[in-house]
Structure 1
């Protein structure tokens, strides 16, 4: 029996040896990363545009102390990047893995996660020294991304854990909508609002990436990237990488960006609006059918149509009636209604309102 077990253990260890032998050759090759990850800020100073947050975090890092944090704001504005950069500066590359627990609350959002994962990690005590000799805070950080997806029961359970483990653990809650976080949690955290990034800041970061990647680009292309991303830098960088891969040898142009972003060309929106204002219902049917058949998302058409209506010289009463209908259409689309019928319904109302002027 012993001899058999011995043989089995030898067989079990053999493949591991082969793996170890094969390991170094595969590890040497640098894995290609998405540009969003490649150019994610490595330290707090690299975080763009969020001056107040950066100033507070830098002061906290100097004293190696942090309050519980609550970051909220639109997607792609640097919330997760900021806390990850701060944690790296606090703990250094060696201790970072042991001291930081990152959970995406949209995947794991039940009370069981708070009771098991969060509680168990929070109860561990840690020393206040780093391997490189720098001072290190005697606490761990738990990052709960998309915390507004957590159930109310899970948030209530988290409240008690926050209180009990305050000596050994700091929490950072990240969400898009602060109103979805229960009041007892928000009162225990320092709240920071992340603003959508200004056009100039986005442009600078995109040009910096273009230089590092040796990309050819046109001014119009970069301007289009900034416009379609609407303050979301992550979206802008992703579109830039997609546009660069679409035309490997050519420059990043406005048309390439528009195509990748799925934005409806301005000509088509203007044409649709002109038919609504001065055309016939038959022409309107054809125009809407063509746009839907082309594969443009109805929600995207709705957004761009909204901007055009607001800029148009209709009366305030007419604009309010149209935008109210837009809200109804948006809700119907979210519930899975037919895109063609909803767009036709909206455009026919615009036609009715325009007829009041004639």
Structure 2
């Protein structure tokens, strides 16, 4: 957590007169959107206006959250988003550890005159004016709750804040299944329910929203999952042609990698997908126990994240990327 002195300084920055912007990472997920909107609604409860800027669009199943459709999407409103970041007095940086993780907005952030406040749970954060970094906490949305507590404003938590933070915690813990989910996490969830978060409604709005294209793509990859490395590693993939054939929409492949990890005996899963428009392969890694996919991704696939959940990127062909992956897991004896 921020030091008491830092909290006083941050509180002094949070005034109606200051222009405040909240940024999150490229390809925003549930925690990115939930933490950003949760913070926005907290500031609103304090009488302070803030704008949320996301680098690119995010899945439809996250747009039910209060004010989600008011997020400024930089790839669609580039000049407006640039002006917001450039003119800001305070910028909250949520759920990313480096400007390189936020696409075209990264350069704007680096050059902005604003005070920059990082709240994030990824490893190896870069320098910001104020840093609250904790890699043990399972979701940035939980860190926002801790920040509100530290500001002695827990009484301000309302239904809008509760719904957004609950969603962020739920999605980044895999429905409270990941081992990083702690007793503290569950106590916060209980508090959010008491503040108005409806678990059944949130789960339905977020996860019970399958499109036909998603189900077709899921059936395709489930029919050809490959298990390698003494049946400890699952490999899944989708080609660009397949995405086009089944009418891929943003968010359709969310969570696909977890199906590989659910196989009995599998300790690591990797999902490879050709980008729909550019020549690179997007990779999602998941693992169990002490298999560190964060370091693995950093070492071989231009990525990073958490010990048991990370992302990466490859500029080889899909076939060559998978071949390289299989070679590296054998070399590292995963």
- Which category of TM-score, normalised to the shorter sequence, fits these structures? 0.3 to 0.5
Structure holding more strand per residue: 2
Greater relative contact order structure (CA < 8 Å, 6+ sep):
1
Q: TM-score, normalised by structure 2?
A: 0.36
From the CA coordinates, give the structure whose radius of gyration is larger: 1
Structure holding more helix per residue: 1
Q: TM-score, normalised by structure 1?
A: 0.34
